[in-house]
Amino acid sequence: MQQVLKVHAKDNVLVALRDLAKGQEIEFNGEKFTLQDDIPAKHKFFTQDMQAGDEITMYGVLVGKTQVFVPSGGRMTTENTKHAADPFFFRPYNYSWQPPDVSRFEGRTFNGYHRSDGRVGTANYWLFIPTVFCENRNLDVIREAMHNELGYSVTDKYKQKTHHLLELYREGADLSSADLDLRESVYPVNRVFPNVDGIKFLNHQGGCGGIRQDAAILSKLLAAYADHPNVAGVTVLSLGCQNLQVADFLKDLKERNPKFDKPLHIFEQQQSQSEEQLITEAIRQTFLGLIEINKFERQPAPLDKMVVGVKCGGSDGFSGISANPAVGYCSDLLVGLGAKVLLAEFPELCGAEQNLIDRTKEEASAKKFMHLMTAYNDAAHKVGSGFHMNPSPGNIRDGLITDAIKSTGAARKGGTSPVEDVLDYTEPAVKPGLNLVCTPGNDVEATTGKAASGATLILFTTGLGTPTGNPVCPTIKVATNTALARRMSDIIDINTGPIIDGEKTIEQMGEEILEYCIKAASGEVTPKAVLLNQDDFIPWKRGVSL
């Protein structure tokens, strides 16, 4: 196995692919380096003496500056390195892109749910939407009732474990060593409605209080979810007096899709006879709706109907050299096939801006991207933060020392294709190709926003392990390293560790990822996040969230 990697010819750092010891001599491309420190796998060391203020280059761009003298072979740390990134600007740029060979996938199809407006879903869900947090409790009651009875619950095994503990407690047994491995099936079986992939619930903390702009943004977000191609029917619960009125939601829904024709049932608690009557009628009408949408069947669709969001979370020092570029190659394949790819997380594009601007086809879109990035970062600075504070302790611990390192590696998920469009939060993707979507870097806020822009699958790369999913968009977890894939096999779908181990190329893994996407879009495989009902949903209030 190769010991180190140089990501770009211009770089003045090398990445350790396995643990390296202080004093060890490393030979790379005819040069020898004596390590001045222990270099854990995923971390970097300098290939030349660095004076205070010297620029650090990785991925071929500025990612930081040294704060003190660091000798050649010295480890990059938060003590000797601080974030830095080049300024960005619009310039006329004739970007040339050579699409990858897509002949292996030409003519291929996936089996999806065809909607009346021409879009194709990868799943068939019924969706419950509260217009205000006051209705969350009612949603919880309905969820427990319908999930358990209709075969969608994944909590039965934990109920059984608790019941077993209760029995042992009553018998006076030693609970600390009790065997709770009851070997139940994780995934529910015997669904009443086999063509309904799930009943999903968008519990949230908004809709009232706060500022009216929060309610307005939430309304557009909820309308986007109701209109999502993976959603076949909707039940809305409203209190009645909240800021987000049902009329506002319906107005946003009509503006988003004037031809919206899905079953839509609305219940307002302050107009009901009682809570019991409200919940009973909501269950009754939803049940009747489930009977109807269960008649839908998967039908073949060309791959250009796919809309794939790309996301990273719990990133590590391998993210930018294994999982992200492999997903990026998959993105390029999808674009070459006429599909849509959504790249978001604007705080994690810091340092990659110029490359993305130069790749943007339309000047107006490039300037829109610049405005969104600048306004977002300025807002963060006004509250004493900034994009430079994005990396988490876990990111730093595993080799992502500056935001520019993290961001430039994260941007590789978007591949190399031209940028066709730039979307603000909740704006729908309408142009085939690569679309940039303004969201926070926060895992759930980002996946929530990606689904709102129309993603019907999400490729989610992780180096540390993240149990994130989405209510309406199947989320596929891609591990950066084999150790993680083995340790957290219950949440990981794809392992790109073979790239680090030298067993496979980025291109080979990218093609494997696309093959998995086709199977997931067809319902032939079920991503782990879906199996575990990891239905995370956090609306973004457009405040500072990194």
Distance of CA 440 to the CA centre of its chain: 11
Picking from 284, 129, 283, 156, the residue whose alpha carbon sits closest to that of residue 220 is 129
Percentage, residues of the chain above pLDDT 70? 99
> Two tokens at 78?
């938060």
Residue written as token pair 């960005």: 88
Tell whether 374 and 275 lie within a shared domain: no
Of 234-248, 341-355, 394-408, which gets the smallest average pLDDT? 394-408
315 and 393 in a single domain? The answer is: yes
Domain-located, residue 513: no
Structural domains of the chain, count: 3
Which amino acid is present at 112? G
Listed residues 261, 295, 329: the one ending a domain: 295
pLDDT at 188 over 70: no
Q: How far apart are CA 127 and CA 262, in angstroms?
A: 11
How far is Cα 165 from Cα 179, in angstroms, rounded to an integer? 9
pLDDT at 334: 98
Mean pLDDT computed over 370-398? 85
Question: What's the whole-number mean pLDDT along residues 387-399?
Answer: 81
408 and 482 housed in the same domain: yes
Which one-letter amino acid corresponds to residue 349?
L
Same domain, 365 and 486: yes
- Over 70: is that where the pLDDT of 187 sits? no
Q: Considering the domain boundaries, does residue 256 fall inside one?
A: yes
CATH number for the domain spanning 277: value is: 3.40.50
Candidates 455, 351, 457; CA nearest to 410 is 351
- pLDDT given for residue 427 in this prediction: 97
What average pLDDT does the segment 91-109 reach? 94
Shared-domain flag, residues 404 and 434: yes
pLDDT at position 185, please?
A: 45
Query: Is 242 in the same domain as 357?
Result: no
Whether residue 105 is contained in a domain is answered as no
Decide if 492 is inside a domain: yes
450 shares a domain with 375? yes
In this structure, are 318 and 462 located in the same domain? yes
**Average pLDDT of 186-200?**
81
Residue 303 has which token pair? Answer: 């791959």
* b/e per residue 192-223 (b: at least 16 CB within 10 A): ebebbbbbbbbbbebbbeeeeebbebbbbbbb
462 lies in the same domain as 325: yes
Q: What's the confidence (pLDDT) of residue 181?
A: 73
pTM value is 0.93
Kindly report the CATH number assigned to the domain that includes residue 35. Answer: 2.30.130.110
- Whether residue 207 is contained in a domain is answered as yes
Average pLDDT (271-298) is 96
Backbone φ and ψ for 317, nearest 5 degrees, come out as: -65, -10
SS3 (DSSP) at 309: strand
Q: What band does 176 get if pLDDT is binned at 50, 70 and 90?
A: confident
* Same domain assignment for residues 333 and 464: yes
Q: In which region does residue 33 sit, left (phi positive, over 0), alpha (psi from -120 to 50) or beta (all else)?
A: beta
Average of per-residue pLDDT across 8-36: 95
Q: What tens digit of pLDDT does each residue of 105-145 get?
A: 999 999 999 999 999 999 999 999 999 999 999 999 999 99
Contact by Cβ (8 Å): 195, 297? yes
Give dist(CA 466, CA 463) in Å, integer.
8
pLDDT of 186 higher than 50: no
406 or 398: which leads in pLDDT: 406
Residues 6+ apart with CB under 8 A from 200: 125, 126, 127, 128, 231, 471, 472, 535
Percent of the chain residues topping a pLDDT of 90: 82
Specify the pLDDT at position 158.
79
* Residue 202 counted as domain residue: yes
What pLDDT was estimated at residue 387? 79
Domain of 147? Answer: 125-153+188-295
Is there a domain that residue 379 lies in?
yes
Q: How much is the mean pLDDT over the chain?
A: 93
20 and 75 inside one domain: yes
Q: Which band of pLDDT confidence, cut at 50, 70 and 90, is reported for residue 417?
A: very high
Given this model, what pLDDT does residue 191 score?
A: 86
Sheet containing 231-238: give its strands across: 198-201, 125-130, 231-238, 264-268
The DSSP call for residue 37 is S
One domain for residues 273 and 379:
no
**Alpha-carbon span 257 to 363, nearest angstrom:** 27
H or E segment at 265? strand 264-268
Is residue 129 within a helix (H) or strand (E), and if so which, with residue range? strand 125-130
Q: Is residue 546, in this structure, part of any structural domain at all?
A: no
Residue 387 in contact with residue 350, Cβ under 8 Å? yes
Mean pLDDT of 175-185: 68
